């Protein structure tokens, strides 16, 4: 077991906020502030897209989807530090597995609800059976 101040392990094996010199801390803070600025800009852009008439009406959901995907990318890179580095392989696999599970739950629920709606008895026949 290692002590809290022990520097055993790889140099990439540290938690956010564990930077040792002020240069790394300033660079980390600058990264977080850049991520915050980009996320705020994308949020403001999505509100602008909905409120403006400059974008063709049926294209608004596509624009919102693109901005949402960009927002997720900003959060993954700047706040969760998911990069293509070799030490992030487990993080990327966990993210992919989590995304798969969420998609299975959402699309499975939609499929079940669509089948239930199609296979249900019409309401007028159900009321007649209760009398």
What is the residue-level pLDDT of the chain in tens, covering all 131 positions? Answer: 444 444 455 555 554 555 555 567 888 888 899 999 999 999 999 999 999 888 888 899 999 999 999 999 899 888 888 877 777 788 888 888 999 999 999 999 999 988 887 777 777 887 888 87
All residues at 6 or more sequence positions from 119 whose CB lies less than 8 Å from its CB, including other chains: none
User: In 22-49, which positions are buried (b, 16+ CB within 10 angstroms) versus exposed (e)?
Assistant: eeeeeeeeeeeeebeebbeebeebbeeb
pLDDT at 3: 47
Please state at what angle helix 60-74 crosses helix 22-51, rounded to 10 degrees: 170
């Amino acid at each position: 077991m290692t002590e809290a101040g022990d520097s055993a392990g790889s140099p990439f094996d540290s938690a956010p906020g564990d930077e040792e010199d002020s240069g790394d801390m300033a660079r980390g803070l600058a990264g977080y502030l850049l991520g915050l600025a980009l996320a705020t800009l994308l949020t403001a852009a999505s509100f602008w897209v909905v409120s403006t008439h400059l974008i063709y009406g049926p294209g608004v959901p596509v624009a919102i989807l693109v901005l949402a995907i960009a927002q997720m990318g900003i959060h993954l890179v700047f706040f969760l530090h998911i990069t293509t580095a070799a030490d992030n392989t487990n993080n990327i696999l966990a993210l992919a597995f989590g995304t798969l599970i969420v998609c299975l739950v959402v699309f499975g629920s939609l499929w079940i609800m669509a089948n239930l709606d199609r296979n249900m008895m019409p309401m007028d026949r159900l009321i007649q059976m209760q009398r």
